[in-house]
Every structure is written in structure tokens, then in C-alpha cells.
Amino acid sequence: MAAPGVGMEAAEEAEGLVLGRLEEEALKRRERLKALRQRTLQNKESGEPESKIPREDVEEEPVKHREIKLRNYDPEDEELKKRKLPPAKPASVEDTVKEQLEAAKPEPIIDEVDLANLAPRKPDW
């Protein structure tokens, strides 16, 4: 059996680790907020809107446009008709249904029935 005070010390250490990590995250958040405030103050002083000033910390990736797939829409434009997909045929589920029905058939548990076991008990039993 362990000493009564040992469990309490471990719980306090774990709580201290959690609080330490939370404090670190709070400090990082404060740093980011300070940088954001300074950036907005500089933008107001320079007179340029914030959207025009490039940000150094964010890397912009080129926007990739996905190819349009027209499944349900029947376009009237000839150029869009080229992009229309042929109608999809539903998958045949007959095989899987047959397998599931065969698996669901119960197998006989008792091959022979003994009539002595099925007879009712005598009242004086």
C-alpha cells in the first residue's frame, strides 16, 4: 500500500505542468496580439488600407480552380455541354443481397428430437 501523501504530490505536479503549458500559450498569444496592434497602428499612420500591405508571415499559395463536373445540370451552352458527365448507372446490389440472405438463413441446431425430453412433467414430480 502506498503512503497517503504520495498521490497528492503527483496530482499537484501534473496540475503544475498543465498550468505551465497554459501560461506559455497565453504568453505566445499576447505576443501575437501585440504584433497585430503594432501592424494596425502602422497601417493607420501610413494611410494604406490593411489589404494593400503585404504580410511577411503568411505565404500565399496560388488559388487552384477545380474543374467543373456537371452531373445533374443540363447546360444549354455548347462549351458547357462538353463538360457534362454521362449519366451514371446504379451499381448492381443483387449479389450482395443474395450473400446476405444466405448468411441469414438459420442452420438447424438439433438434428433429432427426443420425445422424452418434450413430454410434460408429471404433476407429482
Q: For position 33, what pLDDT does the model report? A: 95
Residue 18 backbone class (left: φ over 0; alpha: ψ -120 to 50; beta: rest): alpha
Burial of 59 (C-beta count, 10 Å sphere; 0-12/13-18/19+)? exposed
71 within some domain: yes
CA gap 29, 23 in Å, rounded? 10
116 within some domain: no
- The amino acid that residue 3 corresponds to is A
109 within some domain: no
67 within some domain: yes
pLDDT of the chain along its 125 residues, tens only? 445 555 556 666 666 677 788 889 999 999 999 999 998 888 888 776 555 555 555 555 677 777 878 888 888 888 888 888 888 888 888 988 999 998 888 776 766 666 666 767 777 76
77 within some domain: yes
Domain count for the chain, please give it.
1
- Domain ranges, residue 93: 6-104
121 within some domain: no
- pTM (predicted TM-score): 0.28
13 within some domain: yes
